[in-house]
Amino acid sequence: MKHLIAPSVLACDFARLPEEIALLNDSAADWIHLDVMDGRFVPNLTFGMPLVEAINRLTDKTLDVHLMMLEPERYVEAFQKAGADWISVHYEACPHLHRNLQQIKATGAKAGVAINPHTPVEALFPVLEEIDLVIIMSVNPGFGGQKFIYHSIDKIKKLKEEIIIRNLPTLIEVDGGVGMQNAQVLLQAGADVLVAGSAVFKAPDPKKAIQQLKNIGGLAL
């Protein structure tokens, strides 16, 4: 499978939201990554269902919703109704992760789990069969524009190996500090989906930046 690019709107100009989404619609972006932050699990606050719902009306692209929040089970159904195609919760916020994954899948959405930089990837192995997407956080969640944490590459490799051994369809997404400087290495390590916030929206030509990320490892499909 050709890798997927998921620009994160966290880095876009919210005063020009329709134009920014139109730009993504007209680009090689596969998914749109939406960072929901609650001010408790992470220090920052962003947006909730109303904005996801608005973006859903502006695009046909797949919506990849990353819930950086405590008790995400309270909002899973609402985010799916708002248009989320993929819903990811944080391992560190879910004492009943297996149940949370079932809940997400029962809504019809695909179920993802994000892990913080300090969480070993092996923590997910007991429930790997239940997970459609693993988000390896390569920065501490909460803010865009941070520096990539290099150890994340080892975690991608370990997880990829396990996914191959078990012959699972689970996708690996990398989130945080991703750009042209490390994309190739991440794909070689086994990443399937690259999230890019600043690398896309702070680039002089965001559409070109997306196309460049998509072109890595061959021609864009």
Cα 53 to Cα 15, 49, 192: the distances in Å are: 17, 6, 26
Beta bridge partners of 184: none
Nearer to Zn ion, 3 or 66 (CB): 66
- Nearest alpha carbon to residue 109 among 176, 210, 18, 31: 31
Is 66 labelled a binding residue? yes
In the 8-state DSSP scheme, what is residue 175? E
Q: Site for ligand DX5 (CB under 6 A): which residue of 130, 198, 203, 207?
A: 198
Min dist CB 165 to Zn ion, Å, is 27
Q: Site for ligand DX5 (CB under 6 A): which residue of 66, 90, 160, 214?
A: 66
**Is residue 88 near ligand DX5 by the rule CB under 6 A?**
no
Binding mask 26-55 for Zn ion (x = CB under 5 A): ---------x--------------------
Query: CB under 5 to 8 A by kind: which of ligand DX5, Zn ion, none does 155 bind?
Result: none
Is 217 labelled a binding residue? no
Residues 196 and 209: their CA atoms lie apart, in Å, by 10
Asked if residues 104 and 87 have their Cβ atoms less than 8 Å apart, the reply is: yes
Task: Identify which range of 19-27, 75-83, 137-145, 209-217 contacts ligand DX5 by CB under 6 A.
Answer: 137-145
Nearer to ligand DX5, 11 or 29 (CB): 11
**Is residue 142 near ligand DX5 by the rule CB under 6 A?**
yes
What own/partner pairs with CB < 8 Å and gap ≥ 24 does 216-220 have?
216/3, 216/183, 216/184, 216/187, 217/3, 217/184, 217/187, 218/2, 220/2, 220/28
Burial 97-121 (b: 16+ CB within 10 A, else e): beebbebbeebebbbbbbbbeebeb
Min dist CB 165 to ligand DX5, Å, is 28
Q: Site for ligand DX5 (CB under 6 A): which residue of 72, 83, 176, 206?
A: 176
Give phi and psi for 58, each to the nearest 5: -95, -5
**Position of minimal CB gap to ligand DX5:** 197
Asked if residues 44 and 67 have their Cβ atoms less than 8 Å apart, the reply is: no
Nearer to ligand DX5, 105 or 202 (CB): 202
Judged on CB neighbours under 10 Å (0-12, 13-18, 19+), 157 is middle
175 is catalytic: yes
Q: Which residues bind ligand DX5 (CB under 6 A)?
A: 8, 10-11, 33, 35, 66, 139, 141-146, 175-178, 195-199
Catalytic site positions: 35, 175
Binding site for Zn ion (CB under 5 A): 35, 66, 175
